[in-house]
Amino acid sequence: MRIFGHTLVLILLTLFFPFASWCWEFEGELSGQTRYFPYSPAYPGQKSQNQSIAIELSAYHEFTNSVSLEFIPFYRYDFQDDERSHGDIRKAYALWATPRLEIGLGINKVFWGVTEAIHLVDIINQTDLVEAPDQEEKLGQAMLSLSFPLSTGLLDIYVMPYFRERTFPGEEGRLRSSPRFDTNNPIYEHQDKDHHVDWAVRLKQNFAQGELALSYFEGTGRDPGLITPVMSSEQLLIPYYPQIKQVGLEAQYIKDEWLWKLETIYRKGQPNLHFEVEDYYATTGGFEYNIYSIFATTQDLGIIVEGIYDQRSDTALTFNEEDVVLGARWSLNNLNSTELLALWIQDIDTSAHNFILELSTEFGNSIAVTVEAWIFSEHSRPDSSSDIGADNLGYLIRRDDYLQIEIGYYF
């Protein structure tokens, strides 16, 4: 992508500035990851194990008290799935900050959201789906951003001149659909394709015991619709990126041990599972109740309860349309920063459910170990492709339960 190349040239030029050459801050992480799938694969070419290595570097420099530059490249090499072997510039971002205005230019990652299981309002960056099925990992997004500090909040404006396509597992990768995705021939609603200029605005207000944020996005939707070509030698799914408008709301309220959360969106222009444009609203919310110093120790336990609702119901192109989320977060608060998160996501209309377990710990200042387990319930088999709905989308990955171990070395 040309914008990536231009940004790289800019960063390399700054390395030759004599006043900047001695005060760059460099960090990095080298990690190895293995996934074990206990069930035999559902599709040809897949294997029961998957290994990969990844590296992420970080360079940061403050030219003055008000001007800074951050550069974070990322690359993963996967030994099984060619589509999962990929590189990305997570950040290449220059920031000019004053008490009344912050101007950012380059590639950046922006997160919106407050809930645990899913983030409905998080729309600035595209999902890097080959990294993890929870859609938490994002690709870098080219942007111009303006931030106006307010007395009790912040007003952010974003202009995004380049669109990033979603990554999908390849033919030999696990956690893929059937038919698989044809990522080489995406279709766009707008004639400008991936050069359409998107924009967004977000107003956030902080209160004594919480915060409230309103957002608006207009441009190329990050969630693709799906097209199956009529004339094709191989059955494939082609991503279709529509022009959408989205209004979002985030709210948090803290009262003693209670943390209440809410995310709500209304979106226009989004195709549903049957490729029909269906305007809709969706919401997720709940609470996290924290029990501090359990059993007279330094450990804390958080109880998580959330609900998920999508107005489209069975035509929603998502796994979570009418679900209940139950979970717990156990923080040992020890020198190893050990933390355990467990989530059970239950569909209220069927027996379909997902179970997610994440354990993270550190050894010294340079080693981090993360263990994840994903369990997908045996979803009902649709009678035909026309019977596929949100309640049985999980059937596509019915044999892809997995255990993942990742060891990272920080330097």
Instruction: Give the 3-state secondary structure of residue 17.
Output: coil
Contacts 24+ apart (CB under 8 A), 208-212: 209/253, 209/254, 209/255, 210/251, 210/252, 210/253, 210/254, 210/260, 211/153, 211/250, 211/251, 211/252, 212/249, 212/250, 212/251, 212/252
Whole-angstrom distance, CA of residue 194 vs CA of residue 190: 9
Of 210 and 2, which is predicted with more confidence? 210
Tell me: pLDDT of 386 over 50: no
Pairing of strands 243-255, 25-36: unpaired
Whole-angstrom distance, CA of residue 266 vs CA of residue 88: 30
Paired residues of 117 in beta bridges: none
Buried b / exposed e along 379-407 (16+ C-beta atoms within 10 A): bbeeeeeeebbbbbbbbbbbbbbbebebe
Whole-angstrom distance, CA of residue 198 vs CA of residue 244: 10
Nearest residue to 177 via CA among 343, 34, 317: 317
pTM: 0.91
Paired residues of 360 in beta bridges: 339, 370
Average pLDDT, the chain: 91
Tell me: pLDDT of 383 over 70: no
pLDDT value at position 18? Answer: 45
Query: Percent of the chain having pLDDT more than 70?
Result: 90
> Left, alpha or beta for 118 (phi > 0: left; psi -120 to 50: alpha)?
beta
Pairing of strands 238-241, 187-188: parallel
Whole-angstrom distance, CA of residue 325 vs CA of residue 52: 31
Per-residue pLDDT band for 20 (boundaries 50, 70, 90) equals very low
Mean pLDDT of 19-29: 77
pLDDT value at position 394? Answer: 75
Task: Give the domain CATH number at 103.
Answer: 2.40.160
Per-residue pLDDT band for 22 (boundaries 50, 70, 90) equals low
Per-residue pLDDT band for 387 (boundaries 50, 70, 90) equals very low
Query: Percent of the chain having pLDDT more than 90?
Result: 80
Range of the domain at 157: 2-410
pLDDT digits (tens, 9 = 90+) for 38-83: 999 999 999 999 999 999 999 999 998 899 999 999 999 999 999 9
CB 124 within 8 A of CB 110: yes
pLDDT value at position 92? Answer: 98
Q: How many CA atoms, within 13 angstroms, populate the side-chain half-sphere of residue 294?
A: 13
Mean pLDDT of 260-279: 96
pLDDT value at position 10? Answer: 53
Q: Which two tokens stand for residue 64?
A: 């003055």
Neighbours of 224 (CB within 10 A): 24
**Burial degree of 103 (CB within 10 A; 0-12, 13-18, 19+):** middle
Q: How many CA atoms, within 13 angstroms, populate the side-chain half-sphere of residue 208?
A: 2
Mean pLDDT of 323-341: 98
pLDDT digits (tens, 9 = 90+) for 389-408: 545 677 788 899 999 999 99
Paired residues of 219 in beta bridges: 244
Of 234 and 174, which is predicted with more confidence? 174
Mean pLDDT of 20-47: 90
pLDDT digits (tens, 9 = 90+) for 169-218: 999 999 998 888 999 999 999 999 999 999 999 999 999 999 999 999 99
User: Cα–Cα distances in Å, from 41 out to 18, 38, 125?
Assistant: 56, 9, 31
| Total number of domains constituting the chain | 1
